[in-house]
Amino acid sequence: MERKVKVYIPNRTMKMGVWVWYEMFNALVSNRELIGRFFIRNMLGKYKQSIFGFLWIIFIPLVAIGTFTFLNKSGVMNFGAIDVPYPVFALIGISVWQLFSDGLSAGTESIVQSGSMVLKIKFPIEVLVFSSMAHVIFEFTVKIALILISFVVFGYKPSVWMILFPVAVIPLMFFTLGLSMFSSLMNCVLRDTARIISLGVTFLLFLTPVMYPLEEGGSQIMRLNPLTALVNAPRDLIIYGHIRHFADYIVFSVVSVLFFFIAWRIFYIVETKMPERI
Amino acid sequence: MSNDLAMKAENVGKKYCKNLARSMMYGAMDIISGSTGKMMDSSLLRKDEFWAVDGVSFELKRGEVLGIIGRNGAGKTTLLKLLNGIFMPDRGAIKIWGKIGALIQLGAGFHPMLTGKENIYVNGAILGMSKKEVDSKFDSIVDFADIGDFLDTPVKNYSSGMYVRLGFAIAAHSEPEILLIDEVLAVGDVSFRRKCFKKLGEMKEKGITWILISHDMGTIKNSCDKVMFLDRGRVSYMGTADQAISEYYCTVSGDGTMKRSDLAAGSAADKRTGITGVNLTGAANGDNKSFATGETINAQISFVSEKRIDNPVFGIQVMGMDGIFYFGTNTKISGFHIDHVEGKGTVSIKLFDNGLKPGLYRLRVDMHDRHMGTVDLVNDAAYFSVKGGAFVGDAMFYNRHEWGLA
């Protein structure tokens, strides 16, 4: 009887060549339950021993929106004419944006945060990155409910194409996961990574048309930012019923998905060298 | 052919970096070189790197128990992490047949805020159990961990005993075919340890293969089929428990006060005051390292004293390699009065019909002044083994005896 053998050699995943893809997908599928468990673990751990619990998911966007609405109304910042009530516009924008910003921050911290576990139990490390994304997706669904409530409150009627909203954010998730694959490993070596990321994400919020609209024919430089297309496309679906810079969106979506797969593959190779550096 | 093997390591090596800044640099370099697909040859040492595990090879058959002993920092835990797959080797290859389970730290992976119940499911999943599997073993896990009323309490409020019991219970129920244990059983109280060993015994009967790291030589000797003595990352000896333990003690004592060979060779004779050597002889003159149970052992303790010491007291203790203190006495307890010593001399003691069971022993010798202030103490003045001779069986010691019938 042939028994299954596991072999550990240096740079194993690199020497596997294309077979590594099979192993990567296989590992992802067979570990789906573990990803779910980690997701529940994170969630329960985060909201326990807290009075407001899950309400924290909506507090932060609400405070941000309140601030920007105030800035807009008082004339400190003028965002120009928007076809929708500004709070609704901002709420959709920040909800999508946080998929990226929270996803990247959580993904970057995911491995180091569970460092003691990584060093003591054998399990596929990529599970940590995937489950941190799962957590952010969960928070996103809560925010979708908040968006729907805001429609009622402001008496706004969205386009029927809103049903594609959850699908339209998928490229952004791939982009975020791809970046997290790199940054989470980098954070094992250099703790500065997490700080640089959180600083960078804060500035990116101002450089990306999230809280303010992307002006038609406006700055071309802004359109080179992949986040511009990836964040605005889902919102366009709700407001306009179509995606305004559709070509941009398609290009950056394809790039994001390819980027994710390359990042995942590199993660699988480099990951073998990282636990010892945590 | 190699079908009954559970594990095979070939020239396995793992390197660490001593310098944190360099370690960070090498890590960043590894990420970059890994990204470009040109991972450098990891079998070369870069500056400030050293081999923490260096060229370890062994084979382990199914159902065998391997003990790993060695000093702190000898590379035991690193080796275990390599075998577990937490670290990847930088050199060599490890082959594993069967599902592996590791107890490197009990309760690692517990989330302090989650309840015991929630942690059972999370930890079970980490150890590769499906929800269904955990469901079916849940009662048995809770029963073993004995945490009944605290099932819905966050584990941060658990006592450390409850914490490790739960950790062990989950790991033991994940049904590994190869189990790696790193000293974890040293925690917990006596009844917990007994319970663990009972469980491990049951698992062993089912043909599970173990690797056990321990500083408790009793555990090693009782549990292991073969023992690896690891010294500075290399396999210094691999073979029977007795021999490995003896090698270990000899090496360890090399860092201590005096080496056995030093005493024997008399190089410690340049001491001004103290014990300079111990010579053991049995019934058959010649082999002074091995005796039979029931044989009379003579010990000659040589000493030197620069100044006159009035009413000195000499003592000996026979220590087993299992850590048990078997026998000890001194001249004062025995009522053997020594008026004074000065210069060189020899004290002798006859251990009539020694009652020691077969095994390895270490002789501790000490010398005191009349107020029992220690003048000298040699922890490992001599090593000797006891084999054969009068029947002891599984008993603790042999008692010289004579039957009668009236």
Does A263 reach chain B within 8 Å, measured CB to CB? Answer: no
**Looking at residue B91, what is its pLDDT?**
93
Q: Which tens digit of pLDDT belongs to each residue from B197-251?
A: 888 888 888 889 989 998 877 778 778 889 999 999 999 999 988 778 777 876 6
Residue A234 falls inside a structural domain = yes
Q: How far apart are CA B398 and CA B4, in angstroms?
A: 40
- B89/A116 touch (CB, cutoff 8 Å), yes or no: no
Chain B: residue whose CA lies nearest to A266: B35
Helix (H, G, I), strand (E, B) or coil at A8: strand
**Looking at residue B264, what is its pLDDT?**
40
A:B CB pairs within 8 Å = 133
**Looking at residue B128, what is its pLDDT?**
86
- B43/A10 touch (CB, cutoff 8 Å), yes or no: yes
Residue A9 falls inside a structural domain = no
Is B6 in contact with B62 (CB distance < 8 Å)? yes
Is B308 in contact with B369 (CB distance < 8 Å)? no
Q: How far apart are CA B325 and CA B160, in angstroms?
A: 29
Q: How far apart are CA A1 and CA A4, in angstroms?
A: 10
pTM of the prediction? 0.79
Does B104 reach chain A within 8 Å, measured CB to CB? Answer: yes
Chain A environment of B23 (Cβ under 8 Å)? 277
How far is CA B90 from each of CA A125, A194, A272, B13, B44, rounded to the nearest angstrom? 19, 28, 10, 6, 9
Chain B environment of A37 (Cβ under 8 Å)? 121-122, 125-126
Residue A91 falls inside a structural domain = yes
| Tokens read off for B352 | 């009539």
**Looking at residue B286, what is its pLDDT?**
60
Chain B environment of A116 (Cβ under 8 Å)? 108
Distance from CA of B174 to the nearest CA of A (A): 13
SS3 letters across chain B: CCCCEEEEEEEEEEEEECCHHHHHHHHHHHHHHHHCCCCCCCCCCCCCEEEEEEEEEEEEECCCEEEEECCCCCCHHHHHHHHHCCCCCCEEEEEEECCEEEECCCCCCCCCCCEHHHHHHHHHHHCCCCHHHHHHHHHHHHHHHCCHHHCCCEHHHCCHHHHHHHHHHHHHHCCCCEEEEECHHHCCCHHHHHHHHHHHHHHHHCCCEEEEECCCHHHHHHHCCEEEEEECCEEEEEECHHHHHHHHHHHHHCCCCCCHHHHHHCHHHHCCCEEEEEEEECCCCCCCCEEEECCCEEEEEEEEEEEEEECCEEEEEEEECCCCEEEEEECCCCCCCCCEEEEEEEEEEEECCCCECCEEEEEEEEEECCCCCEEEEEEEEEEEEEEEECCCCCCCECCCCCCCCC
Residue A62 falls inside a structural domain = yes
Is B248 in contact with B89 (CB distance < 8 Å)? no
Residues sharing a CB contact under 8 Å with residue A120, sequence separation 6 or more, in sequence order: B86, B102, B104, B105, B108, B109
Distance from CA of A246 to the nearest CA of B (A): 32
**Looking at residue B30, what is its pLDDT?**
87
**Looking at residue A81, what is its pLDDT?**
73
Residue A245 falls inside a structural domain = yes
Q: How far apart are CA B66 and CA B346, in angstroms?
A: 43
Phi (first) and psi of residue B333, to 5 degrees = -60, -40
Nearest to A41 by CA among A110, A103, A89: A110
**Looking at residue B37, what is its pLDDT?**
76
**Looking at residue A217, what is its pLDDT?**
61
Confidence band of B362 (pLDDT split at 50, 70, 90):
confident
Q: Which tens digit of pLDDT belongs to each residue from B146-188?
A: 888 899 999 999 988 888 889 999 988 988 999 999 887 777 7
Chain B: residue whose CA lies nearest to A114: B109
Residue A126 falls inside a structural domain = yes
Chain B: residue whose CA lies nearest to A14: B37
**Looking at residue A255, what is its pLDDT?**
97
Domain of residue A100: give its range. Answer: 16-38+55-277
The pairing of beta strand B178-182 with beta strand B5-17: unpaired
**Looking at residue B148, what is its pLDDT?**
80
Mean pLDDT of B31-36: 86
Q: Select from B27, B90, B126 the Cβ nearest to the Cβ of A10.
A: B90
Examine the pLDDT at B272 and tell me if it is beyond 80.
no
**Domains held by chain A: number:** 1
Distance from CA of A185 to the nearest CA of B (A): 8
Most A-contacting residue of B17, B87, B163, B211 (CB-CB within 10 A), to test interface? B87
Confidence band of B379 (pLDDT split at 50, 70, 90):
confident
Q: How far apart are CA B193 and CA B165, in angstroms?
A: 10
- B31/A38 touch (CB, cutoff 8 Å), yes or no: no
Confidence band of B258 (pLDDT split at 50, 70, 90):
very low
Question: Residues 34 to 93 of B: which have CB under 8 A from any A CB?
Answer: 34-35, 37, 39, 42-43, 81-82, 84-93
Residues of chain A with pLDDT under 70: 1-2, 216-218
- B89/A10 touch (CB, cutoff 8 Å), yes or no: yes
DSSP code of A4? P
> H helices of chain A, where?
12-15, 19-30, 32-47, 56-74, 86-113, 115-118, 126-154, 165-168, 170-189, 192-207, 220-224, 226-239, 246-270
CB neighbour class for A217 (10 Å; exposed up to 12, middle 13-18, buried from 19)? exposed
**Looking at residue B250, what is its pLDDT?**
66
**Looking at residue B259, what is its pLDDT?**
42
CB neighbour class for A167 (10 Å; exposed up to 12, middle 13-18, buried from 19)? exposed
Quote the ipTM score: 0.88
Q: How far apart are CA B398 and CA B400, in angstroms?
A: 6
Confidence band of B261 (pLDDT split at 50, 70, 90):
very low
For chain B, the average pLDDT equals 85
Chain A environment of B50 (Cβ under 8 Å)? none
- A270/B35 touch (CB, cutoff 8 Å), yes or no: yes
Does A269 reach chain B within 8 Å, measured CB to CB? Answer: yes
Dihedral-angle region of residue B388 (phi above 0 means left; psi in -120 to 50 means alpha; beta otherwise): left
- A37/B105 touch (CB, cutoff 8 Å), yes or no: no
Does B153 reach chain A within 8 Å, measured CB to CB? Answer: no
Residue A4 falls inside a structural domain = no
Chain-centre distance for alpha carbon B15: 24
Q: Which tens digit of pLDDT belongs to each residue from B86-104?
A: 999 999 999 999 989 888 8
Share of chain B above pLDDT 90, in %: 39
Examine the pLDDT at B324 and tell me if it is beyond 90.
no
Residue A43 falls inside a structural domain = no
Nearest to B230 by CA among B52, B75, B82, B15: B75
Question: Residues 6 to 45 of B: which have CB under 8 A from any A CB?
Answer: 14, 16, 23-24, 27-28, 30-31, 34-35, 37, 39, 42-43
Most A-contacting residue of B3, B48, B111, B168 (CB-CB within 10 A), to test interface? B111
